[in-house]
Structure formats: C-alpha cells, structure tokens
Amino acid sequence: MVYLRTYGEGSHQNERRTLLKSVNFVDLIANVNNPVVRAELAKNSSPLEVHLWDFGKRASGHIKAGDVAYILCEDTLYYSKVAAKISDPAGEIEDVVGWHRIQDSPWANPVLLGSLVRLEALASVATLLPGKHQLEGNFYKLAA
C-alpha cells in the first residue's frame, strides 16, 4: 500500500528529531529499558542510522512493513518504505528520541523507515494527488 500523511503547522519539532536527521540505531536500542520493545527493535536488521516516525493511533492501524509512506510536514515532503512497526505502548522510543507528546499521550506505534528521500519540489502539490482515498483525518491511501 501507498499512504500520504499530512501535517500542518507544529510538526517541525518531531520532524527535526527523526526525519531531518537520523537516529543511531545501536544507541536507540541501548537506551530503551523495556525488554520487549528492545527485543522487537533488535530483530530488525536496520542500518546504523535510522529514521523514525509515528503516524498516530488510528493511522498506524493501516500501516505495515513494506508499505510506502509519503509524509508531508508543512512544506517538506518525505518518501520512504516502512521497514518495521514497533509496538511501544508506554512511548519509551519517543522519550529516547525526544518527540513532543500531544495531550500527554505516548507515541505508541513508531515505525522504522527505510532510506528517506526529501521531495521538496513536490511538497506543494502532494495534497492534490488524484485518486487519494481519505482513511482518517489527514491520512490518505494513494494506491494498493
């Protein structure tokens, strides 16, 4: 599946943490205390540096490893394949990488992204893509 997630103003704080820059995967695993979450991370053969994102509670239910994700943060469009989705109910990964919580709720479904590509030239037209199907508020399915 191919998905588009759009974010308006205010998305830059988390974007700067794990999209604009990568996270050292070995350090991430080492700083996670929950053994179940740590084991789930460790079973992935990720490169030394990874990008992370969480699409939110409802949208995460649609995402699986192998899906293609477009992430539009205000004026920057990112493209990547989802390498893995991690179940982290307490939001420990979010705490390690410094994501901002919304309404004190943890980011419980972070995903490891494959190679990340910035498509700034396409950002202004991303929401105009034909054939998109709205699944949740600002989460769209583009293709099967």
User: 3-42, pLDDT tens digit by residue?
Assistant: 999 887 766 778 888 998 899 999 999 999 999 999 999 9
pTM comes to 0.86
Q: Which two tokens stand for residue 112?
A: 């490891």
Instruction: Report whether pLDDT(58) > 80.
Output: yes
Beta strands (DSSP E) in the chain are 2-7, 23-24, 49-53, 68-73, 76-85, 111-113, 117-118, 133-136, 139-143
The model's pLDDT over 65-98, given as tens digits with 9 standing for 90+, comes to: 999 999 988 888 899 999 999 999 999 999 999 8
- Least confident interval from 60-69, 92-101, 128-137: 128-137
Chain mean pLDDT for the chain:
87
